[in-house]
Amino acid sequence: MTGATRAEVAATACSDLLLGAGRILASPIGLIPAIGARLAKLTHAPELLLSDGEATMFADVPAVDESFTDIQSPFPYRDLFELIARGRRHVIMGAAQIDQHGNQNLSAIGDRDRPARQLLGARAAATNTVSHATSYWIARHSPRVFVDRVDVITGLGPAQAATTGAARFQDLRRIVTNLAVLDFSGPDGTVALVSTHPGVPVAEIVDATGFPCTFRATCPRPARRPRSSSP
C-alpha cells in the first residue's frame, strides 16, 4: 500500500471539519473541500446534506466528476438563507489573505479604492462568517496568503467580530491548507497551528506564514536553529 498523497491528506482534513455535524448543509467551495464533504457523508456524517451549490439538493453522494445523481430535490435560494439563519450550515470557503487575527480578504490586494489587484469581491463573506460554522481551505500555504494584516476585511475574525457585536453569532472552526491545519485558539482568537500534514516540518509552516506562529499544546515546536559562529 502506498502512502497518501498531500491532496488526500488535505481532503481528509476537510472531512474531519464535519465530524459530528449531524443534519446540516455542507457548503464546500473548491475541489478538495467538496471531496472532503462527500467523504464525510460516506463515512462519519451520514446525515449531512449536500447540494450542487446552486438550486439542487443531492439525495446521494455523486462522484467528483458527476454533477447530478439519480434522485434530487429542488433547493431554492430562500431555503439556503433559512438554514443559515438557523445555524444549520458549515461553509468551507477560500481566501486571498488571512491575517493573524483571523480576518479574511476576498476583495482586493492593496488600497481598496485603488487596488493593485481586483479579486472576487466581498462575495457575502461577512455573512458567511456569522450565524453558522465557518472554515477555510487554502490551496497554497504561503506568506502572500497568511499576512500580518489583510488589505480589505471581507470575512470577520474573532477580534473584529467582537468590536462589531457579531461575536455571539460567530463559529469559526479551522483552516485547512496544503501543509497544515490551523484554528483560532491563539491569544484573543488569533490563528494557531494545530497540526502539520505528514512529512511537513513545523519549520516549513513557520517560513510559509507571514506572522508569528502560535502553537497548540499538542503541536510540536520547531527545533531551534543553531546560531552561526563568527569566523
pLDDT, residue 3, reads 82
Is residue 58 over pLDDT 90?
Answer: no
- Tell me the C-alpha distance between 114 and 179, whole Å: 33
Higher per-residue confidence, 181 vs 62: 181
Please give the share of the chain, as a percent, with pLDDT higher than 90. 49
**Confidence band (pLDDT; 50, 70, 90) for 130?**
confident
The C-alpha torsion from 131 through 21 and 8 to 221, rounded to 10°, is: 70
Ordered domains of the chain (ranges, CATH): 1-92 (no CATH), 94-168+180-219 (3.40.1080.10)
pLDDT, residue 122, reads 67
The whole-chain average pLDDT of the chain stands at 84
- Tell me the C-alpha distance between 85 and 88, whole Å: 8
What is the Rg, in whole angstroms, of the alpha carbon atoms belonging to the chain?
A: 19
Q: What is the average per-residue pLDDT within 28-39?
A: 94
**Confidence band (pLDDT; 50, 70, 90) for 216?**
confident
Lowest-confidence region among 17-21, 54-58, 108-112, 117-121: 117-121
Pairing of strands 192-196, 115-118: unpaired
- Tell me the C-alpha distance between 69 and 158, whole Å: 38
Cβ(90)–Cβ(129) below 8 Å: no
